[in-house]
Amino acid sequence: AQSVAQPEDQVNVAEGNPLTVKCTYSVSGNPYLFWYVQYPNRGLQFLLKYITGDNLVKGSYGFEAEFNKSQTSFHLKKPSALVSDSALYFCAVRDDGNTGKLIFGQGTTLQVKP
Amino acid sequence: EADIYQTPRYLVIGTGKKITLECSQTMGHDKMYWYQQDPGMELHLIHYSYGVNSTEKGDLSSESTVSRIRTEHFPLTLESARPSHTSQYLCASSEWTSGPGDTQYFGPGTRLTVL
């Protein structure tokens, strides 16, 4: 069965510092991976996805993610964090069945302090 | 922001009431989904649809039902709400493609509280 794990419940960084939010995955076939962000009392906003190709994926708001097949990881990164990046981040993998559903990790709260 | 809308945004009701959570999208997407999310927790799929007149149950058992009479509309109904139904309900849609690359876009969610 497909699954993703986000090992950190919370990540704290200072504004201006680089940030990393970790995600590891387990799939039976090709991994199709997604990152979403959720601000308080809002729905999920799509940040980026990896389907195939370049291991470094660039997304919205200056975020990028690095796909690493040998480590089965898809960590989200940003070179310089902003206070406004503080939110809940979800990694997800597409299910390998026909539904197209996403299987989500438990989420990581990012706290960026001024 | 994606063109997908959910109403109401917040709902507080008493036990036993019938409720319908509305979800509409203007992107012409064929696939639509309902997820349930407890505060600060991961999302679980409860219903999905491939298109008009198509509805399927998801992974998480739910007493809710859905319908898909029009492409743009995917309402979720609870015939008799209970406190255990208290949660956030998120609707999503994606374009039908033959490959895995379609992206799901989410509405703002409905936070339901059943007293």
Does the CB of A10 have a partner CB in chain B at under 8 Å? no
CB A32 to CB B100 under 8 A?
yes
Q: What is the mean pLDDT of residues B24-51?
A: 91
| B34: nearest CA partner in chain A | A101
Output the six-digit token pair for A87.
Answer: 């939110």
Write out the H or E segment, with its range, that includes residue A56: strand A56-58
Asked if residue A98 has pLDDT above 80, the reply is: no
Asked if residue A40 has pLDDT above 90, the reply is: no
Cβ neighbours around A76 below 10 Å, total: 26
More confident residue, A28 or A64: A64
What is the rounded average pLDDT for all residues in chain A?
93
Contact B37, B87 (CB under 8 A): yes
pLDDT tens digits for range B61-110: 788 999 999 999 999 999 999 999 999 999 999 986 666 678 899 999 99
Chain B positions touching A44 (Cβ under 8 A) are 43, 90, 92, 106
CB A36 to CB B56 under 8 A?
no
Q: Which of A30, A43, A105 sits opposite B108 (nearest CB)?
A: A43
The Cα–Cα gap between B82 and A43 comes to 23
**Burial group, residue A57, by CB count within 10 angstroms (0-12, 13-18, 19+):** buried
Measure in Å the smallest separation between the Cα of B41 and chain A Cα atoms.
Answer: 6
| B30: nearest CA partner in chain A | A100
More confident residue, B11 or B96: B11
